[in-house]
Amino acid sequence: MPITEFLVRNAELYPNDTALVEINPHFEPTARITWKDYSLIQPEVGQPFRREITWKTFDDKANRFANLLLTRGIRRGDKVAVLMMNSIEWLPVYFGILKAGALAVPLNYRYTAEEIKYCLNKADCSMLVFGPEFIGRIEEIVDRIPAVHNLFYVGEDCPSFADSYDRMIGFCSKKAPDIPLTDDDDGAIYFSSGTTGFPKAILHKHRALTHAALCEQAHHGQTRDDVFLCIPPLYHTGAKMHWFGSLVSGSKAVLLKGTNPEWILKAASEEKCTIVWLLVPWAQDILDELDSGTLKLEDYTLSQWRLMHIGAQPVPPSLIRRWQTIFPGQAYDTNYGLSESIGPGCVHLGVENIHKVGAIGKAGYGWEVKIVDENGNSVERGEVGELCVKGPGVMICYYNDEKATAETLHDGWLFTGDMAEEDEDGFIYLVDRKKDVIITGGENLYPVQIENHIRRHEAVKDVAVIGLPHARLGEIAAAIIEVREDMTLTEEEIIDFCSSMPRYKRPRTYIFAKVPRNPTGKIEKPKLREIYCGKSLVEQQIKN
């Protein structure tokens, strides 16, 4: 059934129960809040801002926005873009788009004005909903997006080139529009992260959205008693599809605006969160502040926190072992997925398989997996090949890009571009992105393997390994190392630490610098190549 039916059901069964909570630790009120639909705890100046809505209000607001869209000429199959930071309005806007029979097109909040224009045009969007953080960027392109006939602004002080969502939605009916939806209707267009080039538009049907919800609930067993702490951006399939588990179970979710370790622990404690999805850098920061004494566990109530899971990138086993020494009562899990496979879950470790920490797991609920060579033939266990997945969540296509679609989809299989290997027990381990493999002197180097080794050094906060051009070997491995603030690390020390690796795998150069990551936690290796690959061999200080 379409994903919208879960919202309708929750509004009927649990109308007065809390669905969503928004916490903004940055907030300092400057104007009177008048949103009658929100249960609001009005803070003093400088105190965190918190508001919540029930399932009934959530559904009503989605219906109101759907009806508003219909009055503006939106019809089945039209595309409506969403460019907003996480907030309590985000999901009602998303579901309102779906209820109108349109396709939701979430956009990355880091996009430049030109990237926003590109994505709006690529997805054939006829409407854009945006928040206050993006006024300047939209103003730059508003005269160059003629196909976008309507712009709705969510927030105070609406700019002159847009209509006010807050003002107009109150005039619309909260009765659900009479627009039947089926699993075969197009539901959403998501954009790839762009870590290997300009973002591609990924088309999914409603059946993929629904399967993502069922998959998440099957993997993590959300019940009505669970409370999910959602921190990553909702434009990304990872955050939203993990929240879908709360949608299926009819349980509360907390949207935290910020990644400060103190805010995360405080929100988990005060909201009695039971499930928290973290990215690797956030988990590292929490551990670092606990180790340094900046944060103290006794200041928080965390006994109810039953599950910590991480996804979106390879997870260093050393990080999880360190986490479990501090939080021994918590279960740990990891999921693997792509926007092309409707987010996390096509490969899943499972809380019962903590002994396989470092693996991404086996085929998830309703999924099939295989690992193939360059000719598309399955490889033997223990051999490295490209990971392929097949299931109800595979994209329909890259929208308006037949060539890229043909390169990625083969007989229902999605070729992920990730290199992986399977152990003797059938567990899959990521080796690296296919495009990130370094070929040095005819040997294949897989950066993730090198990164996992270097991360074991106690002074290393983060690391990224990239290939640099080399006149004789073609490429050599360079390690960009971010050192923990409270520690020091010399080049001689890290060279000695890496001496236990086979010689051909050892980095030839070490660069001490910050490791950039995108909002979903992935290392921005194209950015690193742009910074370092343009330098001369002398500047790179390559050691032959």
CATH 3.30.300.30 domain locations along the chain: 437-540
pLDDT band at 42 (very low <50, low <70, confident <90, very high): very low
Name, in order, each residue with C-beta under 8 angstroms of 478's C-beta and a sequence gap of 6 or more: 465, 466, 467, 468, 507, 508, 509, 510, 511, 532, 540
Span 4-237 CATH architecture? 3-Layer(aba) Sandwich (3.40)
Q: Is the pLDDT of residue 520 over 70?
A: no
Q: Is the pLDDT of residue 521 over 80?
A: no
Question: Residue 138 in contact with residue 116, Cβ under 8 Å?
Answer: yes
Least confident of 251-255, 280-284, 351-355: 280-284
pLDDT band at 534 (very low <50, low <70, confident <90, very high): low
Question: Residue 201 in contact with residue 191, Cβ under 8 Å?
Answer: yes
For residue 143, the 8-state DSSP code is: G
Least confident of 69-78, 211-220, 280-289, 387-396: 280-289
Q: Is the pLDDT of residue 528 over 90?
A: no
Q: Is the pLDDT of residue 142 over 70?
A: yes
Task: Give the CA angle between residues 39, 209, 75 to the nearest 5°.
Answer: 80
Q: Is the pLDDT of residue 178 over 80?
A: yes
pTM of the entire structure? 0.82
CATH superfamily of domain region 437-540: ANL, C-terminal domain (3.30.300.30)
Q: Is the pLDDT of residue 439 over 90?
A: no
Average pLDDT, the chain: 89
From residue 61, alpha-carbon distances to 64, 68, 166, 234 in Å are 5, 10, 11, 18
What pLDDT sits at residue 85?
94
Considering the chain, what percentage of its residues have pLDDT values greater than 90? Answer: 69
What pLDDT sits at residue 348?
94
pLDDT band at 486 (very low <50, low <70, confident <90, very high): confident
Long-range Cβ contact pairs of 530-539 (< 8 A, separation 24 or more): 532/466, 532/468, 532/478, 532/480, 533/466, 533/468, 533/469, 537/469, 537/470, 537/471
Read off the pLDDT of each residue in 67-74 and give the average, rounded to a whole number: 96
State the Cα torsion 403-525-475-428 to the nearest 10°: -80
Q: Is the pLDDT of residue 111 over 90?
A: no
CATH 3.40.50.12780 domain locations along the chain: 4-237
